[in-house]
Amino acid sequence: MKYSKIAGTGSYLPERIVTNSELQTTIETSDEWIVSRTGIEARHIAAEGEKTTDLAEHAARAAMQSAGVCADDIDLIVVATTTPDKVFPSTACLLQARLGVKQGAAFDVQAVCTGFVYALSVADKFIASGQHRCALVVGAEIFSRLLDWNDRRTCVLFGDGAGAVVLKASETPGILSSHLHADGSQGHILQVDGGVSAGRLADNPYLQMDGSAVFRLATRVLHECATEALAHNGYGVADLDWLVPHQANMRIINSTTDKLGLARERVITTVAKHGNTSAASVPLALDTAVRDGRIQPGQLVLVEGVGGGMTWGSVLFRF
């Protein structure tokens, strides 16, 4: 079997919802400013003590249930996260132990908001190699812990959550192609400068962003990698049933959609209620649209992301 196919999806959001009005009580901002600039109305925030692995486990179990697979079936776990519980073991290894998976490989990928798209592409290639048959691919983040909650330019944008898919070997596609890109020279426009390799947490532990530079790069590359994926497979925009873009903000999503010439009704958006959940945003949106019945078996779906690194990419598949 040379293809991989999504067999099930799942997601999880922490219980606590923080609305724009609540943020208004702690920083100088307004619901009007946040909604008009980003489309974000609320975000879920993890409870104290709740870890990325906790979120990942909920999403993974939901995806496994919807795919009808158990721990014995899984032989690959790839977790996309920027907010691992620990420096090591990886979140994927922690998750493997939680789920009782005893076989196969488990590792994290780090491409920030493009993380899930990278992870899906990696898992697809592992399965296409013939050496793995059933992968759990997870995007899980607690971005709220990377934010300076006094910095109104960044803290209003993000939320916490997790999403997952089970990817199985298949005789038919499935995943048609993936297209990954990076430009490390632009790393400074979106970063958490702090690191642990100094033997302690050194430098600024909080997310810093040049908002307009990120906006310009995001709208350019999301358009490029959407057209690249369609052209690679001989499809036009009219062939696409659904676009599931990274949920950073509505202005980026609308600009990409309009540039592509795609009807906005064909785009899955969850950013209003979730904020930007980084690597979790695409699988959360995918699971939402699968569970509410919009995405149907056999439909052509394009997922795409852009994030820190800078990184970007897309995966085109038949659901």
Q: Which of 138, 218 has the CB closer to ligand ACO? A: 218
- Phi and psi at 42, nearest 5°, equal -160, 165
110 belongs to the binding site for ligand ACO (CB under 6 A): no
248 belongs to the binding site for ligand ACO (CB under 6 A): yes
> Is 246 in the active site?
yes
Alpha-carbon separation of residue 253 from 223, 260, 291 (angstroms)? 10, 11, 22
> Is 249 in the active site?
no
- Measured distance CA(79)–CA(92) in Å, rounded: 5
Restricted to residues 16-75, the positions that interact with ligand ACO (CB under 6 A) are 29, 33-34, 37-38
Tokens for 296, please give them.
Answer: 């149907």
152 belongs to the binding site for ligand ACO (CB under 6 A): yes
Q: Identify the CA nearest to 69 among candidates 60, 59, 58, 79.
A: 60
Q: How many positions of this chain bind ligand ACO (CB under 6 A)?
A: 25
113 belongs to the binding site for ligand ACO (CB under 6 A): yes
Near ligand ACO by CB under 6 A: residue from 145, 251, 259, 266: 251
Q: Identify the CA nearest to 138 among candidates 58, 73, 75, 222.
A: 58
Q: Are 240 and 226 in contact (CB under 8 A)?
A: no
> Is 132 in the active site?
no
| Min separation Cβ 312 and ligand ACO, Å | 8
Given 113, 134, 155, 225, which residue is catalytic? 113
- Strand, coil or helix: 168: strand
- Measured distance CA(211)–CA(249) in Å, rounded: 11
Active-site amino acid positions:
113, 246, 276
Which residues of the chain form contacts with ligand ACO (CB under 6 A)?
A: 29, 33-34, 37-38, 113, 152-153, 156-157, 190, 209, 211-212, 214-215, 218, 246, 248-249, 251-252, 276, 306-307
